[in-house]
Structure 1
Amino acid sequence: MIKRRLTLALPALMLLASCALMQPDTRAPASDLPTSTVDSAWISPQWWAQFGDEQLNQLIAQARASNQNLAQAVARVAQARAALNINQSAQWPQLGVGADAGRQRVPPTASTTPGVYDSYQLAAQASWEIDVWGRLANLTEAARRDWLAAQYNQEAVRLSLDAEVAQTWFNLLSLDAQLSIASDTVQSRQQSLALQQKRFTGGLISELDVRQAEAELNTAQSTLPDIFTQRAATETALAILLGQTPAQISTIDSSRPTTLANIKPPLPIPAGLPADLLERRPDIQQAEAQLIAARARIEAARAAYFPQISLTGLFGLQSAAFGDLFTGAARTWSYAGNLTLPLFNGGLTAAQVNQARAVEQEALAAYRGSVQQAFGDVRNALVADQQGTLKTTAQAEKVKALTRQLHLANLRYDNGYSDYLDVLDTERSLFDARLSLVQARVAELNNRVALYKAVGGGWQAPAGLAAQH
């Protein structure tokens, strides 16, 4: 009875010891976080809708459905899930059915009963590695964390895609506005040149004024090709983000249902760092999952220092004559236990453990780097968002002042108080200021998008995913 109790107690003690010895640390590393934070409840899950542009809403929906980078991320999730299933299957007994038939000649030199022998067998076979030290369990845990990391990567790719589509769309509307300003300026310069030519013909002005007007027209016309080229490149970039086919990309329609002037930045957002930034950024969650996976692989590698225990069994039919194979007398069975203890392998196990630890150190540095990058992104985005609004306001006032200045310059020139050069200088300044105002407005929109992206957008880990993590 005592021997039986010891026999039952020994595996239990080994299992408890393995649980205490081989479980990876699943805690995230401590970080020195700022104390001045704000609630992130202001972030809408569909933050792009706050710009009030239905076309942008449709573009993001199309990109989410057809973008190829996102499709790759989705496929990586499926790969990681399959890898998890593979590792989980290794923890279960492996069952199979086998059949074989053979004939063998045994020579007199090898046996006292030489002759030709037949052999037939049909049997079910089973094998099972008893995971006493947690090798298989830790490999499964590592695969599960890889699967979580792949899901977080998918969310990070989706977040970047949303932001890139929004910024590319705003850039495209900005180029439309710049093209409109440049075209209007060219038309205005053509009218000015025609007027100056009439005045020159009438002897009211010198040829110098005509040539100055002609040069300004050429300058305005020279801006058009660059804007057209930039707009075409931006249209192509947007089409690729949307996952359009090559045929669609080659026949892009440049007409758009909205303009930059119709899009306004959402209301100002509270200054400060979101208190739950570490949970909001999927890239940080991905780095944490990869770190825990690396820790689990350390424990799996350490398990190689301990004995590997496995059980095998067979039950079936075996006979020297095929006609007797399915009789009761042909039944056969066997079972066995196997214990393998590594004694010397040239330092292989130690090297594998050291390799796993080095991978864990790399993952730890990557996690800390992602946290640092996240808070740096938020700080930069907050400053850019605040300063961008001030710049747009100042640039709008500059355009307003130059518009008034041009009116006064024309009055002075028409009444003979100044030469035409003052008018041209003011027109040139106003043209540049109007283009700069458009650029400031699109920068303000893009800065807001960058801020939404920096704080993780409206992303929140789904309940099931958060529970698994």
Structure 2
Amino acid sequence: MVAFALLVSSCSDVPIAPPSADLPARFAGAPPKPQLHVSPIKAEWWSGFADKELAVLIATGRSQNPRLRQASAKVEQARAEVGIASSSLFPSLSAGVGSSRGDKYGFGTSHSNKYSTVSGDWTVDLFGAKHAQKRAAEAKLAAAISDQTQAENELLASIASTYVDVRYYQRRIQISERHGGKPAAQSRLRGR
């Protein structure tokens, strides 16, 4: 009996916390850490430019970018997998009702059959496999959300950077045209 208890306990999936160590706040002789006053970035940081055209471009990019759509679909799929993994931890119950009609012996007599079924199932997670599957599904969901955030940030940065570059070159062209293409004005633009 003791051997069985040891065997069962050795197969269980128990989360183990990493060991902790008492470490000093900084190395001896190291300069003190500078205090940084960083404010968090607003969710819609591009609104700080107060440019309606940029806002429209970003809204269009967010709604029509295939990479973002794919990332959103992966998040939804990972959420569904968490639900499936979670549901396997609980008992299940199924029921059915039906009827049939036919000639059982081929003599031209018909008969009707009506039936109903009820069944239940619960698999005890003795060795922790189902809990491990749930944790794996949750980790996959966290990774999918992180990938979605990264894809969105890359898209927004690309749109904003390209838009700022376009506006910069448009302004340079306006300045050049205003000065009529005079060599002195052009050399000032080039920094000579």
Q: Same fold (TM over 0.5)?
A: yes
Preserved CA contact (<8 Å) 1:95 1:125? yes
When residues 17 and 121 of structure 1 are mapped into structure 2, their CA distance, relative to the original with a 3 A threshold, is farther
2:86 matched residue in structure 1: 88
Q: Deviations over 1:165-205 (max 9, x none)?
A: 321221011111221233245x245xxxxxxxxxxxxxxxx
Q: Deviations over 1:303-347 (max 9, x none)?
A: xxxxxxxxxxxxxxxxxxxxxxxxxxxxxxxxxxxxxxxxxxxxx
SS state at 2:126 partner: coil
SS state at 1:126 partner: strand
- Which has more helix, going by share of residues? 1
1:434 lines up with 2:189 in the alignment: yes
Preserved CA contact (<8 Å) 1:18 1:133? yes
When residues 74 and 171 of structure 1 are mapped into structure 2, their CA distance, relative to the original with a 3 A threshold, is same
Q: Deviations over 1:278-317 (max 9, x none)?
A: xxxxxxxxxxxxxxxxxxxxxxxxxxxxxxxxxxxxxxxx
- Identical positions, percent: 18
Map 1:2-401 onto structure 2 (within 5 A).
14=8, 16-19=9-12, 22-23=13-14, 41-46=37-42, 53-55=49-51, 59=55, 62=59, 66-68=63-65, 69-99=67-97, 121-184=115-178, 187-189=180-182
Preserved CA contact (<8 Å) 2:62 2:152? no
CA–CA distance in structure 2, aligned partners of residues 101 and 49 of structure 1: 63
2:108 matched residue in structure 1: none
Preserved CA contact (<8 Å) 1:56 1:169? no
Preserved CA contact (<8 Å) 2:85 2:133? yes
CA–CA distance in structure 2, aligned partners of residues 178 and 151 of structure 1: 41
SS state at 2:90 partner: coil
SS state at 1:151 partner: helix
Q: CA deviation at 1:53?
A: 2.3
Q: CA deviation at 1:152?
A: 1.5
Q: CA deviation at 1:123?
A: 2.4
1:415 matched residue in structure 2: none
Preserved CA contact (<8 Å) 1:97 1:123? yes
Preserved CA contact (<8 Å) 2:93 2:119? yes
- Which is higher, the Rg of structure 1 or of structure 2? 1
SS state at 2:122 partner: strand
CA–CA distance in structure 1, aligned partners of residues 35 and 53 of structure 2: 26
SS state at 2:51 partner: helix
CA–CA distance in structure 1, aligned partners of residues 173 and 58 of structure 2: 28
The one-letter code matched in structure 2 to 1:155 is T
CA–CA distance in structure 2, aligned partners of residues 155 and 26 of structure 1: 29
CA–CA distance in structure 2, aligned partners of residues 188 and 151 of structure 1: 52
When residues 50 and 168 of structure 1 are mapped into structure 2, their CA distance, relative to the original with a 3 A threshold, is closer
CA–CA distance in structure 1, aligned partners of residues 17 and 151 of structure 2: 25
CA–CA distance in structure 2, aligned partners of residues 159 and 49 of structure 1: 11
What is the TM-score with the length of structure 1 in the denominator?
0.30
